[in-house]
């Protein structure tokens, strides 16, 4: 007899992650390779100490097919143990790394799901909660699922030890300051993000709202450069070659995909040319596996990256997808949130759940960013933003998202 299904959300969670060695609850779900979530069953994790003795980052790659971007869990040292912010999949590597930190600094006390909409951060939470059965789980208000709205306990959160941030209190208020962004009505559910300032290290943790994108690929790609090499090509029938320049080219293209979904300088091949390239690729040794590449990057595509990521140190910015699809009519809400963050206490660095971290950041930097957001054009429809704008327009036209001005 096959395994019994407890509820749909638990299945989605389980099949998107590799089994945890020794975790019987994971071994009940044998279908996780069926979803096209890169890197399927070979997920690698990178542990980095961001602030000595205070703050660590565990990064993994996650994406659909080879559009893989790093996601980050941040581990905070509390006086009595550890807090996990934005969990990643608790693979054997992750559990071994956390076991070492627990030996030095005490047990994992608290797990925080700091977003109500970021699926990539929600999916690992039930498995991470099972990996640390003594830890308290805190989630942002308004957790939701799509296409079926399920009660919170059906989302895989352990009923007895799950609390809702802001509504049922805030954890470790003597060491951490919390600041919520939202809720915002996305039609299918809410957007809500919980940032927090770890006073001891001056680290401001955010999830998706702010990013700082580097010119070079993140170090995690040294463990698995294939997504970079896949996108560094010009055609499906080109082999995957490796060099620092090609890795950087692949990174720039991945950033454009992740930022704009369909960058302006990207053309999608017609069926004739696509079939020709697939045919050519399939005749090469090992080429068939990389044949699904229906893209053609038009000349000067690099300028599109440079408009997003100027040369030099990474700048703190609002992720384009959020600006154009979550906050197009709520700029002021974001500006107010930046001002609130700047009042929390002494901020020394920003640690987002994607891209670069830690990034030097002060309260004055956040105020300056708020001022810039208020003065520059917002959620425009031109160039790189055209595709995101078309999605937003259609959602408004269909009545999925409310058309209210901030």
- Tell me which residues touch Fe ion (CB under 5 A): 118, 208
Residue among 208 and 323 whose Cβ is closer to Fe ion: 208
- Quote the crossing angle between the two packed helices 331-342 and 363-375, to the nearest 10°: 160
Rounded to a whole number of angstroms, the minimum distance from the CB of residue 319 to Fe ion is 9
Count how many residues are written for the chain. Answer: 406
Q: Among candidates 203, 138, 211, which has minimal Cα distance to 176?
A: 203
Residue 333: phi and psi, rounded to 5, are -60, -45
Minimal distance in Å, beta carbon 327 to Fe ion? 15
Minimum CB separation of residue 342 from Fe ion in Å reads: 23
Beta carbon nearer to Fe ion, 117 or 277: 117
390-396 CB contacts, 8 Å cutoff, 24+ apart: 391/261, 391/324, 391/325, 392/324, 392/325, 392/328, 395/187, 395/325
Nearer CB in complex with Fe ion: 69/78: 69
Give the residue with the Cβ less far from Fe ion, 139 or 291. Answer: 139
Cα separation, 80 vs 107, whole angstroms? 8
CA-based radius of gyration for the chain: 21
Instruction: Provide, rounded to whole angstroms, the least separation between the CB of residue 121 and Fe ion.
Output: 6
Q: Which is nearer to Fe ion, 59 or 208 (CB)?
A: 208
Comparison of 70 and 81: residue with beta carbon closer to Fe ion: 70
CB of 16 to Fe ion, least distance (A): 14
- Strands in 176-314 per DSSP E: 176-185, 190-198, 203-205, 210-212, 266-268, 295-297
Considering only CA atoms, which of 143, 191, 149 is closest in space to residue 164? 143
Give the nearest distance from C-beta 352 to Fe ion in angstroms: 9
Other CB atoms within 10 A of residue 274 CB: 18
Residue 358: both structure tokens together:
């830690």
């Amino acid at each position: 007899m096959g395994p019994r299904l407890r509820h749909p959300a638990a299945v989605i969670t389980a099949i998107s992650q590799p089994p945890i060695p020794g975790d019987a609850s994971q071994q009940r779900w044998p279908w996780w390779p069926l979803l096209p979530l890169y890197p399927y069953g070979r997920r690698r994790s990178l542990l980095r100490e961001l602030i000595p003795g205070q703050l660590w980052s565990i990064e993994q790659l996650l994406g659909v097919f080879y559009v893989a971007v790093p996601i980050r869990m941040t581990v905070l040292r509390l006086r009595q143990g550890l807090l996990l912010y934005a969990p990643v999949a608790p693979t054997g590597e992750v559990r071994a790394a956390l076991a070492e930190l627990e030996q030095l600094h005490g047990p994992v006390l608290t797990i925080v799901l700091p977003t109500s909409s970021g699926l990539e951060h929600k999916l690992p939470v039930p498995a991470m909660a099972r990996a640390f059965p003594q830890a308290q789980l805190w989630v942002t208000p308004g957790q939701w699922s799509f296409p079926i709205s399920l009660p919170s306990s059906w989302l895989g959160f352990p009923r007895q030890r799950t609390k809702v941030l802001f509504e049922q209190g805030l954890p470790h208020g003597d060491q951490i300051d919390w600041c919520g962004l939202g809720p915002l009505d996305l039609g299918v559910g809410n957007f809500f993000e919980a940032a927090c300032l770890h006073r001891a290290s001056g680290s401001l943790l955010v999830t998706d709202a702010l990013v700082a994108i580097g010119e070079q690929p993140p170090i995690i790609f040294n463990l698995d450069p294939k997504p970079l090499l896949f996108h560094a090509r010009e055609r499906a029938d080109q082999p995957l070659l490796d060099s620092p320049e090609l890795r950087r080219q692949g990174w720039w293209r991945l950033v454009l995909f992740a930022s704009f979904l369909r960058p302006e300088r990207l053309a999608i091949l017609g069926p004739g040319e696509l079939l020709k390239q697939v045919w050519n690729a399939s005749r090469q040794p090992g080429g068939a596996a990389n044949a699904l590449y229906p893209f053609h990057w038009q000349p000067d595509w690099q300028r599109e990256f440079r408009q997003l990521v100027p040369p030099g140190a990474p700048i703190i910015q609002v992720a384009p997808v959020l600006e154009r699809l979550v906050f197009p009519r709520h700029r002021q809400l974001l500006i107010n949130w930046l001002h609130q963050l700047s009042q929390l206490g002494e901020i020394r660095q920003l640690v987002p759940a994607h891209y670069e971290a830690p990034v030097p950041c002060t309260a004055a930097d956040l105020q300056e960013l708020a001022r810039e957001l208020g003065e520059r054009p917002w959620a425009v429809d031109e160039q790189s933003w055209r595709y995101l704008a078309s999605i937003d327009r259609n959602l408004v036209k269909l009545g999925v998202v409310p058309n209210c001005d901030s």
